[in-house]
Amino acid sequence: MDELNFDINTLKISDIGEKKLVSFITEKIGFENFSNEFNGFKEIWDDAAVLDLGDFYLTFTSDILIEKYHFPSWLTYCSYGFKAVSVNMSDLAAMGSKPVGIIISLSLPGNLSIDSFDQLLDGIVHACNYYNVPLIGGDTNEGNEIIISPTVIGKNKKNEILYKYGFKKGDLLAITGPIGFSALAFQFYETKKTDLTNALITEFAFDESKIFEDILKKIELPFGKIEEGQFLSKFSSVSAATDISDGLASELGEMINENRKFNQTIEVNKNVFNKSKSNKNEFNKNKSNKNSFDPNYLKNGLITIGDYDDIYNFHPKNFGFRVYENRIPFIKEIKRLSKILNKNYLNVLFNFGEDFELVFTVDKNNIDEFKKKYESKFPPCYVIGEVTDSDLIELELMDGSTKILNPKGYEHFKD
Ligand SMILES: Nc1ncnc2c1ncn2[C@@H]1O[C@H](COP(=O)(O)OP(=O)(O)OP(=O)(O)O)[C@@H](O)[C@H]1O
Ligand SMILES: Cc1ncc(C[n+]2csc(CCOP(=O)(O)O)c2C)c(N)n1
Ligand SMILES: [Mg+2]
C-alpha cells in the first residue's frame, strides 16, 4: 500500500480527501494485509464485503447520502428516497448479488414537514418494491440536514460472484449503458442556476427529444443494475465488474489496483527471519490464526506494517486499460454543453460520477456469444476497450492520438 505521507497533528481532513482518509482507516485496522478469510469474510475490499456462509455468500455494503452533497435542490423528496436505495443497490449489482434486505438510518431536521417526509418515505418504499427487498430496520435521529444511510445485504451462489479483479491481458472492457447524464444535468444546472427543465427546452430545444426525458429520468430515478449484475455473474467469461458511481476513470483505476494485487506473487524474505527468531514465531502464530486476528497485534509492535513489508517481497503484475473515445456511449449533447460552458468534455464524462452503469471485463473469445445473450434480455452493452499490461488508463482519441487518463473521480472533502 502507498505510504501515507502526512503529519496527522497538523493536517485537516479536507487537506487529504476521501481516498486517503479511507486508506488511513484501513491502515490503522490492518485491512490490507489481513483482508481475506477474516472472521469468515472472503473479501472486505470490494464493492461489498463478502461473507462465506458455506453453501452461499452474503454481501454487505453501505453508501451514505447527505442532502448538501447528494441531493441537488431540483430533486423531489421522493427522489431522495429512491436514489438512496438505488445507490446502494448499485454496489450489490457490481458484485452480481441478489438483494435480500435493507436497513436504513435517517437523520432529519425537526422543521421538515410531515408531508415532505412522507414523500421521502414513498421514494424508499417504491425503490424497495422495485428491487423486491424488505426494509428490515434502521434508526431515526434528529440532525441539521437530511442524511439517508442505507446498508444493504445481498446473496450470491458461490460460483456466481464478481469482484473488481480477475481479468487478464486481452480481455475486453465493456459497459452496460451510456454515461454522462448526471454530469450533463449538474453542469448545466449548477452553472446556469436556472430551472433545468426550462433551460434545456429553451437553450437546447430538447423538448421533443426522448433524450430530454432520459436525462431527467436518470437523475430523478436512477436504477442500480441488479438484474444485469446477476446476469453477468452467471457467465464464466465475464472476469470482473464494478459500478461507476465515482466516475469511469476512477473506477478503472481501482480495477487496475485490485487486479495488480490479486495477481502479485509474494516471496518470503528469509533474511528477516534469520535476524529475529522470536518475531518469526509470533508472526506465524498470528498468521495461522487469522480468524482470531487481534488488531492490537499491530499496535503492540509485534509486527508493524513496515515489518510486514520487510518479511514479504511483493511482486505486483501490471495491468492497464486502453479505451477508445469513439466507442464510449454518451449523449452527444454533453460535448455541445461542455463547449458552451468552457469545460473539457472528457473530464466531464470520465471524472464526474453518479452514473449507475456497470463496467466489466469479458474474455474476447466469448464476446459474440455473450453479447447476443445479454442483449436478448437487456438494452445493448458496449465494448469500449481492452485490458493491457501498461499500468495506465489510455484513451485513444478520435484523431488517433493517445491521452493518459488520471484515475480521478468525485472525491468528498475535495470536490
Ligand atoms: N468509515 C469506513 N469504515 C470502514 N471501511 C470503510 C469506511 N469508509 C469506506 N470504507 C471501505 O473502503 C472501501 C472504499 O470505499 P468507497 O466508498 O470508495 O467504495 P465504493 O462503495 O465502491 O464506492 P462508492 O461509494 O462510489 O460506491 C470500501 O471497501 C468501503 O467498505
Ligand atoms: C448537491 C449535490 N452536489 C454535487 C453532487 C455530485 N456528486 C455528489 S457525490 C458524487 C459521486 C459519488 O459519490 P459517493 O462517493 O458518495 O458515492 C457526485 C458526482 C450531487 N449529486 N449533489
Ligand atoms: Mg462501488
| Per-residue confidence band for 278, with pLDDT thresholds at 50, 70 and 90 | very low
Protein residue whose Cα sits closest to atom 7 of ligand 1:
22
| Interval between CA 372 and ligand 1 midpoint (Å) | 34
- 348 conformational bin, left if phi > 0, alpha if psi -120 to 50, beta if neither: alpha
pLDDT single digits (tens) 230-243: 999 999 999 999 99
Question: Is 325 annotated in some ligand binding site?
Answer: no
Confidence check: pLDDT of 3 > 70:
no
Asked if 58 and 190 touch (Cβ cutoff 8 Å), the reply is no
pLDDT at 304: 39
Asked if 165 and 261 touch (Cβ cutoff 8 Å), the reply is yes
Protein residue whose Cα sits closest to atom 4 of ligand 2:
69
CB count in 10 Å sphere of residue 246: 24
pLDDT single digits (tens) 78-108: 999 999 999 999 999 999 999 999 999 999 9
pLDDT at 308: 55
Bridge partners (DSSP) of residue 154 are 59, 99
Confidence check: pLDDT of 71 > 90:
yes
Confidence check: pLDDT of 58 > 70:
yes
Section 196-206 average pLDDT? 61
* Phi and psi angles of residue 77, each rounded to the nearest 5 degrees, phi first: -60, -35
Task: Write the DSSP assignment of 203-224 as a string of letters.
Answer: HH--TT-HHHHHHHHHHHS---
Count Cβ atoms within 10 A of the Cβ of residue 321 and give its class: 0-12 exposed, 13-18 middle, 19 or more buried.
buried
Count Cβ atoms within 10 A of the Cβ of residue 298 and give its class: 0-12 exposed, 13-18 middle, 19 or more buried.
buried
pLDDT at 72: 87
Ligand 1: atom nearest CA of 47 is: 22
Higher pLDDT, 193 or 243: 243
Confidence check: pLDDT of 306 > 80:
no
Taking alpha carbons only, the member of 109, 135, 136 closest to residue 122 is: 135
pLDDT single digits (tens) 18-53: 988 888 888 787 765 554 556 788 888 899 999 999
List the 393-396 sheet strands across, edge first: 238-243, 358-362, 172-175, 382-388, 320-324, 393-396, 402-405
Cell of 47: 464493492
Protein residue whose Cα sits closest to atom 14 of ligand 2:
246
Q: What percent of the chain has pLDDT over 90?
A: 59
CB count in 10 Å sphere of residue 33: 17
> What domains does the chain contain, in order, with CATH numbers?
56-157 (3.30.1330.10), 172-260+318-405 (3.90.650.10), 265-315 (no CATH)
Identity of the residue numbered 61: T
Cell of 61: 455494503
Nearest 5 degrees, angle CA 267-CA 273-CA 274?
125
> Which long-range contacts link 29-33 to residues 24+ away (Cβ below 8 Å)?
29/295, 30/293, 30/295, 30/297, 30/298, 30/305, 32/1, 32/305, 33/305, 33/308
CA separation for the pair 183, 180 (Å, rounded): 5
pLDDT at 299: 35
Confidence check: pLDDT of 1 > 90:
no
Taking alpha carbons only, the member of 284, 336, 291 closest to residue 311 is: 284
ipTM of the complex: 0.95
pLDDT at 9: 75
Ligand 2 binding pocket includes 69 (Cβ within 6 Å): yes
- Provide the 3-class DSSP secondary structure of residue 139: strand
pLDDT single digits (tens) 107-138: 999 999 999 999 999 999 999 999 999 999 99
pLDDT at 291: 32
pLDDT single digits (tens) 151-184: 999 999 999 999 999 999 999 999 999 999 888 8
Our mutation pick for probing the ligand 1 site, out of 22, 59, 148, 248, counting the most ligand atoms within 8 A of Cβ, is 22
Protein residue whose Cα sits closest to atom 3 of ligand 1:
25
* Alpha-carbon distances of 33 from 168, 279, 291, 335, rounded to whole Å: 23, 17, 14, 43
Section 1-8 average pLDDT? 56
pLDDT at 300: 35
Ligand 2: atom nearest CA of 411 is: 15
| Per-residue confidence band for 275, with pLDDT thresholds at 50, 70 and 90 | very low
